[in-house]
Structure 1
């Protein structure tokens, strides 16, 4: 059996059971499967590292935060399930962070992982749409609601990833509120928060996609980049705005 067929079989065997109500992403909820979502374990030459999130944007490319790439050499990318133990994993040794990434203030916190072979698109593995190259609207706009999913910590005191994919809803806040917490630059970054249930991104979620709806279809508009030291606090999350880097993504991934 060739590698592509084996990978497709693994994904089918990992068909989605609906998880029971589980501990939360930080006041989030258990998520149904999102076929674009990727779990990323990143490792250096000494096999030390951590984990984060990403989004499948083609059959060979995963978009994530540069913080998950910079200084690392190997990436184990999990796809195909909202249950951690059922993820199918692909190992990559090729990735590129934005050349102007600043790990101190997270400016230009965007990067692409190149998969060693094309994944087979199925019900469980499918890329998410990006803002069009020629789109002039700087999505997302203020007060627009988006969804964020991840296997990251489920409380500010957690030390391990979640067993089930978690999601929360956040709404884009104005730039001045964002500046109260992070040294963000417009239009390259934005902030969003949940002012109802106070759900928040936490450690292990950086790189995950912020997804909004454009003309009735989901579209990837942000990458989780900045969280407060206490991610359980009532602070917004800082995101890289994908539309501001659309030309760079095209140069790297040809999409």
Structure 2
């Protein structure tokens, strides 16, 4: 029987259409919070993390994906987050906070000007699942908001790292976490991953035989590792099997495979912008 795979923002879109997810952190049956077996982040712990939100023409706002800050004007995320986009949907990012809907004094809530999906993104195979967001106004870097570094092109993800997001926390994947959760997880070998998914050389998978992993709504969020003494984003959350079970891998877009796309897109669309202090 063919396996059914789920992209990690599509179900959240469905739950948004049916009504905004409730602000719960434990499901009725006592299941641990998601990110699977994650911990709550503290203020300023992950300064590069953003919540990507949609604001409908009627005024309702809902979060649906994550991303990371590359510089004052650019956010890195997943392309599939923007399938089905219409002119009636206005995208924003919120950063500087651990509660996605906190628009208080440390929050920076900024409108997205343009979405740049990878030109070869394939919604059927989820290949090239990476995107860049150009913000309408620059971010202000401070002790709560900072960019994250990209990895060197030769880097191959291995060992342990950290994932984070505001994704689903219940077995039906309809309740999302109001607070940023994070967890440690490990890179699986391509041979292990291919028992579950037909991955390509531009993808990695995490979390096989590991209790910590991502779930619906964590799409676009990062897998970060310490590379040469610097924390860097090496993966972007893409998809997994239905159910978000522990011990099963999740597929991530390999950032090193798209460094040229990232550099070219930013260079071609940053005329007149100040990207760093």
Match of 1:155 in 2: 170
**Is structure 2 residue 241 aligned with structure 1 residue 228?**
yes
Counterpart secondary structure, 1:84: coil
Distance 1:24 1:225, change over 3 A: closer
8 Å Cα contact 1:55/1:127 also seen in 2: yes
CA deviation vs aligned residue, 1:103-135 (integer Å, no higher than 9, x gap): 111100000011001111011110100024xx3
1:106 alignment partner, one of 122, 126, 135: 126
Equivalent residues in 2 for 1:11-26, closer than 5 Å:
23-26=33-36
Q: Is the 8 A contact 1:57 1:128 kept in 2?
A: yes
CA contact (8 A) 1:26 1:155 kept: no
How far apart, in 1, do the equivalents of 2:205 and 2:242 lie?
16
Instruction: Select between 101-110 and 42-51 the one with higher mean Cα deviation.
Output: 42-51
Are 2:215 and 1:193 aligned?
no
**Contact 1:90-1:115 within 8 A present in 2 as well:** yes
User: After the TM superposition, which of the residue ranges 72-81 and 40-49 deviates more from structure 2?
Assistant: 40-49
Q: Could you list the per-position Cα deviations for residues 137-182 of structure 1 after superposition, in whole angstroms to 9, with x for gaps in the alignment?
A: 3x313xx111011011123234132121101111111102111222
Report the counterpart of residue 39 of structure 2 in structure 1. Answer: 29
Matching residue within 157, 174, 177 for 1:140: 157
Q: Does 1:116 align with 2:129?
A: no
Q: Identify the residue that residue 78 of structure 1 maps to in structure 2.
A: 94
User: Is residue 48–residue 145 contact of structure 2 (8 Å, CA) maintained in 1?
Assistant: yes
Report the alpha carbon displacement of residue 228 of structure 1 after superposing the two structures with TM: 1.2
Calculate the aligned-residue CA RMSD, in Å: 2.5
Q: 8 Å contact 2:222–2:233 — kept in the other structure?
A: yes
Distance 2:251 2:173 in 1: 21
Say if 1:146 and 1:169, in contact at 8 Å, map to a contact too. Answer: yes
- Corresponding position: 1:39 with 2:51: yes
More displaced stretch, 51-60 vs 159-168: 159-168
Moved more, 118-127 or 226-235: 226-235
1:128–1:219 Cα contact (<8 Å) kept: yes
| Counterpart contact for 1:37–1:54, Cα < 8 Å | yes
Secondary structure of the residue that 1:250 maps to in structure 2?
helix
Q: Deviations over 1:207-250 (max 9, x none)?
A: 00110001221001000001211113431110000001001100
1:92 aligns with 2:102: no
The worse-fitting range, judged by mean Cα deviation, of 24-33 and 168-177 is 24-33
Q: Which residue of 2 aligns with 1:10?
A: none
Unaligned runs of 5+ in 1: 1-19
Gaps of 5+ in 2: 1-24, 27-31, 268-274
Shift of 1:192: 0.8
C-alpha change, 1:35 and 1:44, in structure 2 (3 Å) is same
Q: Which has the higher contact order (CA 8 A, sep 6+)?
A: 2
Superposition TM-score, scaled by structure 2 size: 0.76
Per the normalisation by structure 1, the TM-score is 0.82
Report the count of equivalent residues.
229
Q: How far apart, CA to CA, are the structure 2 residues paired with 1:233 and 1:163?
A: 21
